[in-house]
Amino acid sequence: MEIDKTSHQQNQYPSRSELEKMTNNELFEVANQSISFREVMVKFISRLNVKPKPVVIIYDEEGNYDIRKIGLPERLKNVLRQNDFEYLSDFKHVRSEDLFKMKYFGEKSYEELLHVLDAYGFQLAD
């Protein structure tokens, strides 16, 4: 996202109390409005004593989301790995009926998988 260096003169920035109520995404949007306001935001955030979580890479250089790293329940992750699934993109050509043929894959696994696929913008073939 490119920062508009002139926009800080036109924008009305939120007050401290408004900033404290914002979500992380909203704070990032505000911080990206101008370079000078980003410096203010960095100071504000640093006072909150927030310790960042370690960054975990969940996709490879081609943008494939690794099923071992995206936070799937262990049971589902193990069933998928036992059936040679490595990435969410592997499901583009898989039908629901094929999944239910896998050992230990049931309705709960199916619902969990659909939820994850949807969250990452993927879907099954059917």
Q: pLDDT tens for residues 26-46?
A: 777 777 776 777 777 677 777
- pLDDT exceeds cutoff 90 at 106: yes
Residue type, 119: A
Confidence of residue 80 (pLDDT cuts 50, 70, 90): very high
Mean pLDDT, the chain, integer: 80
pTM equals 0.55
- The Cα–Cα gap between 2 and 5 comes to 9
Percent of the chain having pLDDT more than 90? 40
Q: How far is CA 9 from the centre of its chain?
A: 33
Structure tokens at 86: 């490595």
